């Protein structure tokens, strides 16, 4: 009998040790963390091509301006997307390995069981996350949008911002008519008065204000959380070469973000040169958008879960999205070193 009890105690102790060992792999918030493959040698890394998703005026321009694309130990293949939602879909399908998105696309990805993980976070100003109306619009308050048509990219950060703006005015997305349009089509519809308002982000906000005289009905101040993320495909995270390249890549992005924050004028000029946007547009956009790397901690996760729950309550999502389940903080020590 005594031997049975001793054996039971040993098994329980072993189970506890295994649990502690597993929980120690990858940091404190690792709901979506899978087994982390070992790093590859420099020779093997040189054979890797990292497929990176980007958006207008996104990571490529900033990395280039900050000198973070110099002496890459692997190759990068860039793909440009109109918003975060198709970028998440591409990462889930393995068409890209990693890319930057706003605060809402990972929530829709989680709800759709997309094969992606959130691996890095940044925080930015929210004045550029705006609900715009044409210069000659008679609308002056969000409450007046009831029954009006609003352009927005479904599942984008603009969608999340619109949801919060409507809630603060006592409305829901069911009280308005949503036209799900990607930015280029939305801008055309907006300038041709086919929609009454447009929920959008930088640099489109500054472009619409300067080029068409668009007026800000309300922005993200006091409501938007300002987070953006690097999301990676789970297949890429499970590949030793890709994982090693992504570890280096997210560090370079964080360094570029810190550089851009410290050199706004240089960043604005580089942004304009790389994208063809007018210098005055990028100069205005930079004042509203200055990504700073932050930890993927409980504050970020809780804020994102609140946004996810708001979408569920609005019935824009079927079911409940668990944001913590898609967080993978395997790169946390490397990113913490950059933040200092």
Instruction: Please compute the mean of the pLDDT values over residues 265-279 and round it to a whole number.
Output: 92
Would you state the torsion angle of the CA atoms of residues 151, 154, 155, 157, taken in this order, to the nearest 10 degrees? -20
Last residue of a domain, one of 178, 194, 219: 219
Whether 313 and 245 share a structural domain: yes
DSSP 327: B
Instruction: Please compute the mean of the pLDDT values over residues 210-219 and round it to a whole number.
Output: 96
Whether 103 and 150 share a structural domain: no
Task: State the pLDDT confidence band at 174, using cuts at 50, 70 and 90.
Answer: very high
Residues 6+ apart with CB under 8 A from 256: 59, 62, 63, 65, 66, 68
Parallel, antiparallel, or unpaired: how do β-strands 116-123 and 292-294 relate? antiparallel
Q: Tell me the pTM.
A: 0.87
Q: What is the pLDDT of residue 73?
A: 98
CATH number of the domain at 158, please: 3.40.190.10
Whether 83 and 160 share a structural domain: no
Whether 111 and 157 share a structural domain: no
Instruction: Please compute the mean of the pLDDT values over residues 293-299 and round it to a whole number.
Output: 97
- Spatial contact of 82 and 180, defined as CB atoms under 8 Å apart: no
Gap between the Cα atoms of 271 and 281, Å rounded: 10
Model confidence at 15: pLDDT above 70: no
Instruction: Please compute the mean of the pLDDT values over residues 155-171 and round it to a whole number.
Output: 94
Whether 197 and 231 share a structural domain: no
Number of domains composing the chain: 2
Model confidence at 25: pLDDT above 80: no
Q: State the chain's mean pLDDT as an integer.
A: 90
Whether 231 and 307 share a structural domain: yes
Work out the percent of the chain whose per-residue pLDDT is above 70.
Answer: 90
Task: State the pLDDT confidence band at 32, using cuts at 50, 70 and 90.
Answer: low
Q: What is the pLDDT of residue 131?
A: 97
Model confidence at 179: pLDDT above 60: yes
Query: For residue range 59-79, what is the model confidence (pLDDT) as tens digits?
Result: 999 999 999 999 999 999 999
Tell me how far the alpha carbon of residue 19 is from its chain's centroid: 31
* Partners of 100 in the β-ladder: 230
**Alpha helix stretches (DSSP H) within 2-146:** 2-23, 42-45, 59-65, 84-93, 105-111
SS3 52: strand
Gap between the Cα atoms of 76 and 125, Å rounded: 29
Residues 6+ apart with CB under 8 A from 10: none
Instruction: Give exposure, 257-281, as e/b (b: 16+ Cβ within 10 Å).
Output: bbbbeeeeeebbbbbbebbebeeeb
Parallel, antiparallel, or unpaired: how do β-strands 49-54 and 98-101 relate? parallel
Model confidence at 183: pLDDT above 90: yes
- Spatial contact of 59 and 253, defined as CB atoms under 8 Å apart: yes
Gap between the Cα atoms of 105 and 89, Å rounded: 9
Q: What is the pLDDT of residue 240?
A: 98
Q: What is the 3-state secondary structure (H, E, C) of 207-238?
A: HHHHHHCCEEEEECCCCCCCEEEEEEEHHHHC
Task: State the pLDDT confidence band at 274, using cuts at 50, 70 and 90.
Answer: confident
Gap between the Cα atoms of 137 and 149, Å rounded: 13
Whether 122 and 141 share a structural domain: no
Instruction: Give exposure, 121-152, as e/b (b: 16+ Cβ within 10 Å).
Output: bbbbbbbbbbbbbbeebebeebebbeeeebbb
Q: What is the pLDDT of residue 1?
A: 42
Decide if 194 is inside a domain.
Answer: yes
Q: Which among 113, 56, 69 is positioned nearest to 88, based on CA atoms?
A: 113
Last residue of a domain, one of 219, 237, 260: 219
Whether 137 and 121 share a structural domain: no
Gap between the Cα atoms of 208 and 202, Å rounded: 10
Model confidence at 12: pLDDT above 50: no
Counts of helices then strands in the chain (DSSP H, E): 14, 11
Domain that holds residue 306: 42-126+225-339
Decide if 145 is inside a domain.
Answer: yes
Instruction: Please compute the mean of the pLDDT values over residues 93-114 and round it to a whole number.
Output: 96
Model confidence at 311: pLDDT above 50: yes
**What stretches of the chain adopt beta strand conformation (E)?**
49-54, 75-80, 98-101, 116-123, 130-133, 149-152, 177-180, 197-200, 215-219, 227-233, 292-294
């Amino acid at each position: 009998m005594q031997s049975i009890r001793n054996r039971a105690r040993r098994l329980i102790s072993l189970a506890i040790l295994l649990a502690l060992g597993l929980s120690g792999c990858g940091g404190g918030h690792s709901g979506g963390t899978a087994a982390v493959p070992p790093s590859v040698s420099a020779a093997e890394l040189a054979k890797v091509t990292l497929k990176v998703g980007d958006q207008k005026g996104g990571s490529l321009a900033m990395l280039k301006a900050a000198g973070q694309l110099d002496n890459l130990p692997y190759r990068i293949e860039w793909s440009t997307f109109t918003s975060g939602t198709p970028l998440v879909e591409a990462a889930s399908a393995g068409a890209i390995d990693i890319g930057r998105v706003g605060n809402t696309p990972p929530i829709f990805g989680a709800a759709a069981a997309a094969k992606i993980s959130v691996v890095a976070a940044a925080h930015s100003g929210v004045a550029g996350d705006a609900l715009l109306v044409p210069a000659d619009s008679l609308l002056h308050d969000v409450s007046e949008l009831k029954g009006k048509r609003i352009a927005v990219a479904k599942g984008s950060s603009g969608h999340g911002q619109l949801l919060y703006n409507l809630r603060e005015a006592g409305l829901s997305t069911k009280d308005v008519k949503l036209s799900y349009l990607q930015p280029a089509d939305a801008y055309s519809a907006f300038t041709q008065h086919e929609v009454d308002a447009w929920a959008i982000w930088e640099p489109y906000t500054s472009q619409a204000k300067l080029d068409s005289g668009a007026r800000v009905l309300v922005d993200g101040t006091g409501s938007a959380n300002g987070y953006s993320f690097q999301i990676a495909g789970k297949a890429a995270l499970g590949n030793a070469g890709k994982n090693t390249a992504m570890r280096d890549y997210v560090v370079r992005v964080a360094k570029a973000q810190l550089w851009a924050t410290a050199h706004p004028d240089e960043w604005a000029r580089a942004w304009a040169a790389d994208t063809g946007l007018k210098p005055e547009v990028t100069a205005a956009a930079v004042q509203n958008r200055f990504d700073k790397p932050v930890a993927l901690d409980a504050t970020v996760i809780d804020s994102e879960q609140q946004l996810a729950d708001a979408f569920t309550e609005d019935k824009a999502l079927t079911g409940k999205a668990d944001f913590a389940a898609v967080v993978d903080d395997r790169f946390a020590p490397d990113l913490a070193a950059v933040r200092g």
